[in-house]
């Protein structure tokens, strides 16, 4: 088996104990390359079991892709840290896809946790993060994320969605641009900051100046509409 795809969307009666059982099975799948889990619409789910799932990933030495959909869950910074602390030890990873829309308990600290994970994965090729409709994340979070992006020297594809994250300002875009300009191998970038706080010329100029330095870029998609 090379790919494991499980959809538990809306299965609100499956909580931590069930995921811990799943994690016990995962570590035996030593040839697994791709994991796709959908836990969306678990309105009461706070991330129980993510630590155990993360720990099981460390034994998957062939793992290349991890995709987790946690849309509209109550995942906390602490749960995200447990997952990140384990993911950063999976050196074979080439793609991370985290969908965390409507996760209102994730703060700037959550982005810092993800950033610390990225710093340990310089071989990552694709990074897809979605924090749409989070009214807590702000400029400080983007500064933390930027410090992690700087280390992704092999990154080819980057997609960041912060739709309706209205605490992000032009300062946050400037913080982010510091990390973007280091991604010299990037081929494709998609940035969505639609319906954030009014974004000034200064913020957009910072992003533009960073993208000018990325000579390998082939596809650029930017959405800053309000």
Helix, strand, coil distribution of the chain in percent, nearest 5: 35, 20, 50
On whether residue 179 sits in a domain, the answer given is no
pLDDT digits (tens, 9 = 90+) for 98-140: 999 999 899 999 999 999 999 999 999 999 999 999 999 999 9
Please give the pLDDT value at position 73. 84
On whether residue 42 sits in a domain, the answer given is yes
Please give the pLDDT value at position 225. 83
- This prediction has a pTM of 0.94
On whether residue 180 sits in a domain, the answer given is no
Q: Cβ distance 225 to 196 under 8 Å?
A: no
On whether residue 101 sits in a domain, the answer given is yes
Task: Fill in the DSSP letter of residue 200.
Answer: P
Please give the pLDDT value at position 128. 98
Residue ranges making up the domain that contains 42: 3-162
Please give the pLDDT value at position 45. 66
Number of domains in the chain: 1
Please give the pLDDT value at position 201. 80
CATH number for the domain that contains residue 138: 3.80.10.10
Please give the pLDDT value at position 146. 98
199: which 2 tokens?
Answer: 């974004």
On whether residue 215 sits in a domain, the answer given is no
The residue ranges of the chain whose pLDDT is under 70 are 12-18, 43-48, 198
On whether residue 192 sits in a domain, the answer given is no
On whether residue 21 sits in a domain, the answer given is yes
Please give the pLDDT value at position 69. 94
On whether residue 65 sits in a domain, the answer given is yes
Assign 22 to helix, strand or coil: helix
Helix (H) / strand (E) containing 207: helix 201-212
CA 109 and chain centroid, separation: 13
126: which 2 tokens?
Answer: 């694709």
């Amino acid at each position: 088996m090379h790919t494991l795809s499980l959809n538990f969307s809306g299965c609100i009666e499956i909580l931590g104990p069930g995921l811990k059982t799943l994690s016990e099975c995962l570590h035996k799948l030593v040839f697994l390359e791709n994991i796709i889990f959908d836990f969306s619409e678990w309105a009461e789910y706070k991330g129980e079991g993510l630590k155990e799932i993360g720990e099981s990933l460390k034994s998957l030495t062939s793992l290349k892709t991890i995709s987790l959909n946690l849309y509209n869950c109550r995942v906390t910074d602490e749960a995200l840290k447990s997952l990140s602390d384990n993911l950063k030890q999976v050196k074979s990873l080439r793609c991370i896809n985290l969908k965390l829309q409507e996760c209102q308990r994730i703060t700037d600290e959550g982005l810092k946790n993800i950033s610390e994970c990225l710093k340990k994965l310089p071989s990552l090729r694709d990074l897809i993060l979605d924090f749409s409709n989070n009214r807590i994340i702000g400029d400080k979070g983007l500064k933390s994320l930027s410090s992690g992006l700087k280390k992704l020297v092999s990154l080819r594809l980057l997609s960041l969605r912060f739709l309706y994250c209205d605490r992000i300002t032009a300062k946050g875009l400037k913080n982010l641009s510091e990390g973007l300009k280091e991604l010299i191998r990037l081929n494709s970038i998609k940035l969505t900051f639609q319906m954030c706080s009014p974004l000034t010329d200064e913020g957009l100029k910072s992003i533009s100046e960073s993208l000018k330095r990325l000579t390998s870029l082939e596809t650029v998609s930017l959405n800053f509409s309000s």
